[in-house]
Structure 1
Amino acid sequence: MTVAGKINTLHFGILLFLLACFFILPAYHVGALSRIMVLAIYAIGLNILFGYTGLLSLGHAMFFAAGMYGLGLSIKFLGVSVIPAFGIGILSAAVLSVLVGLLALRTVGVSFMIVTLMFAQTIYLVVLYFGEYTRGDEGFVLQQAERMLLNFDVTTEAGRYFVAFGAFSICLISFAALVQSSFGKRLVAIRENEERARMLGYDVWRYKLLAVIISGTVSGVAGALYALLFGYVGATFASVQYSILPLLWVLLGGAGKTIGPLIGVAFMFYLIDASSAYTSAYMLIAGLALVILTMFAPRGIAGILQAKVWPWLP
């Protein structure tokens, strides 16, 4: 089997496994996997920018929140149905990513990290300032009747799972195709040696801008999907915490690996779930796990799999 065939088999195998989980696992784990798949889409967004382009953003929560509030506010105040509201959420994240990319890419390295963090804090403060509409930290709930998708109830266990599965499937396959394309290879070239990529004639700034836009838009898709499936919109999702979490997921799962985001989100979710049963300091345990993994497996869990099992892992 060719390398491309192995890669496609792996990705479709993962999707078949997730599909089978709905019929095999108890209700608690089915609900957990719904959340994991949505957050994995968010991590895929960051992985495009950080793992494949080498740009570390500390403010990705603003894109997640843009998608979330774009959908939530349009349903609550404009009275639009789910599909156009979802489009508004994605468009909000896309427009924000264009603006942030045009401004933040004037900087490099640590300055880029700081600028993205400042933009994210600005968006967070804007959400709090317009608390009359956003309800600030308290947030607001989208009612069941407002979340009907073409007469399909996404509030049920099955509805939520299959919408999350469908969206994750599209994002994973599209993500895998992107990183194996010439565009994806150019992003990797920029990550590995930006000056050499520029000497070869690539418009490095343009590729970076496209990476920011794609990354932010995908993260916005995750935010809109989260609001739709779980019915809650709150300022917490625009805070620094939700900019750091996807970075932890990508690092744990394996930056620059297509299956890294899913592995990282699942690992962190169940680690926190298990440790929270014994202590309220569950984030300390998660932090220790990250430190240990960074020391002994700096390329993440997917990096271990690449070294030991699948050397062709993209």
Structure 2
Amino acid sequence: MSEAGKVWALHLGLLGLLFALQFVLPAYHHGNLARVMVLASFAVGYNLMFGYTGLLSLGHAMFFAAGMYGMGLAMRHLGWTPGPALIAGVLSGVVLALVVGALALRTVGVGFMIVTLMFAQAVYLVALYFGEWTRGDEGFVIQQAERVMMGLDLSQPGPRYFVAFVLFSACMLLSLRVMQSGFGKVLIAIRENEERARMLGYNVFRHKLGAVALSGGIAAAAGAFYGLLFGYVGATFATTQYSILPLLWVLLGGAGTILGPFVGTLFAFYLIDISSGFTTAHMLVVGVVLVALALFARQGIVGELRARLWRWLP
């Protein structure tokens, strides 16, 4: 089998496994995996910007929150149905990403990190300031009767898992297709040597802006679906914590790999879940494990597999 065939077989095989698991998992893990798939979609968006383009953002929570609030406010205050509201959420993230990208990309390195962090904090403060509509930290609940799309009651475990699966499948396959395209290869070239990419005639700023917009759009889609599937919208999702988490997931799974965001999200989620069942100091256990991985698996779980076993992994 060719390398391209192996790549598609592996990724489609994972999706086939995730699809089958919904019929056999117990209720607790069924719900957990649905949540993991939505959060992994968030990490997929972050990976496009950080892992493949080399842009380290400390403010990705603003895109996740933009999608969540774009969807939630449209349903709560405009009476929109879930379909149009989800589109509004994604468009909110894309527009915000274009604005932030156009300004933040005028800086490099640490400057880019600081600017994205500042923008994210501004979005969080806006959510708090307009608490009359957003309800700030308290947030608001999307009622069960409103969470029906195309005849599916998304408050029920089965439809919720299926929609989370569709979202993750779309995000992962889009990521794979983008990185196999000429656009994706230019992003990798920019990450490896930006000056050389510019000397070869590529418009570096335009490609970076495209990466930020695509990354922000995927993150916004994850935020919109998270709010709809789990019935809650709140400013908590705009805090710095939700900017650090996707970075952590991507580093754990393997930056610059297609499967890394999912593996990292799944690993981190269950590491916290399992360790908290044994001790109240579960974050200490998590910290020790993460430090060990940083020391002995510097390229992340999937990154190490690619370096040592399967060099054809994208």
Give TM class, smaller chain: over 0.9
TM-score (norm. length: structure 2): 0.98
Question: What does the per-residue CA deviation read over 1:130-161, in whole Å, with 9 as the maximum and x for residues that have no partner?
Answer: 11111111111000111110221111110100
Q: Which residue of 2 aligns with 1:199?
A: 199
CA displacement at 1:280 relative to structure 2: 3.1
Q: Does 1:305 align with 2:305?
A: yes
CA displacement at 1:289 relative to structure 2: 2.0
Question: What does the per-residue CA deviation read over 1:256-276, in whole Å, with 9 as the maximum and x for residues that have no partner?
Answer: 000000000000000000111
Amino acid at match of 1:66: A
Question: What does the per-residue CA deviation read over 1:225-271, in whole Å, with 9 as the maximum and x for residues that have no partner?
Answer: 00010000011100000000000000000000000000000000000
Once residues 307 and 87 of structure 2 are traced to their aligned partners in structure 1, the CA distance between those partners, rounded to angstroms, is 40
Once residues 207 and 126 of structure 1 are traced to their aligned partners in structure 2, the CA distance between those partners, rounded to angstroms, is 29
Q: Which residue of 1 aligns with 2:213?
A: 213
Q: Does 1:93 align with 2:93?
A: yes
The 3-state SS of whatever aligns with 1:46 is helix
Question: What does the per-residue CA deviation read over 1:142-191, in whole Å, with 9 as the maximum and x for residues that have no partner?
Answer: 00111110221111110100000011111111111111111111100000
Q: Which residue of 2 aligns with 1:230?
A: 230
Once residues 282 and 249 of structure 1 are traced to their aligned partners in structure 2, the CA distance between those partners, rounded to angstroms, is 18
Which consecutive residues of structure 2, in runs of 5 or more, have no partner in the other structure? none
Q: Which residue of 1 aligns with 2:291?
A: 291
CA displacement at 1:281 relative to structure 2: 3.4
Q: Which residue of 1 aligns with 2:163?
A: 163
Q: 1:1-314, aligned counterparts within 5 Å?
A: 1-314=1-314
Once residues 105 and 285 of structure 1 are traced to their aligned partners in structure 2, the CA distance between those partners, rounded to angstroms, is 37
TM-score (norm. length: structure 1): 0.98
Once residues 283 and 103 of structure 1 are traced to their aligned partners in structure 2, the CA distance between those partners, rounded to angstroms, is 36
Amino acid at match of 1:269: F
Structure 1 segments, 4+ long, off by >6 Å, are none
Indicate how the Cα distance of structure 1 residues 78 and 28 shifts in structure 2: closer, same or farther if over 3 A, else same. same
Percent identity over the alignment is 63
Would the aligned equivalents of 1:248 and 1:290 in 2 still touch at CA under 8 Å? no
CA displacement at 1:92 relative to structure 2: 0.5
Once residues 60 and 280 of structure 2 are traced to their aligned partners in structure 1, the CA distance between those partners, rounded to angstroms, is 26
Which consecutive residues of structure 1, in runs of 5 or more, have no partner in the other structure? none
Would the aligned equivalents of 1:69 and 1:233 in 2 still touch at CA under 8 Å? yes
CA displacement at 1:292 relative to structure 2: 1.4
Question: What does the per-residue CA deviation read over 1:13-44, in whole Å, with 9 as the maximum and x for residues that have no partner?
Answer: 00011011111221111111100000000000
Once residues 186 and 56 of structure 1 are traced to their aligned partners in structure 2, the CA distance between those partners, rounded to angstroms, is 17
Once residues 208 and 175 of structure 2 are traced to their aligned partners in structure 1, the CA distance between those partners, rounded to angstroms, is 16
Amino acid at match of 1:6: K
CA displacement at 1:309 relative to structure 2: 2.9
CA displacement at 1:104 relative to structure 2: 0.3
Once residues 9 and 192 of structure 1 are traced to their aligned partners in structure 2, the CA distance between those partners, rounded to angstroms, is 28
Once residues 193 and 281 of structure 1 are traced to their aligned partners in structure 2, the CA distance between those partners, rounded to angstroms, is 43
Structure 1 stretch displaced more, 16-25 or 67-76: 16-25
Amino acid at match of 2:24: I
Once residues 293 and 179 of structure 2 are traced to their aligned partners in structure 1, the CA distance between those partners, rounded to angstroms, is 25
The 3-state SS of whatever aligns with 2:213 is helix
CA displacement at 1:308 relative to structure 2: 3.2
Once residues 196 and 208 of structure 1 are traced to their aligned partners in structure 2, the CA distance between those partners, rounded to angstroms, is 15
Amino acid at match of 2:295: M
Question: What does the per-residue CA deviation read over 1:57-82, in whole Å, with 9 as the maximum and x for residues that have no partner?
Answer: 00000000000000001100000101
Q: How many residue pairs end up in the alignment?
A: 314
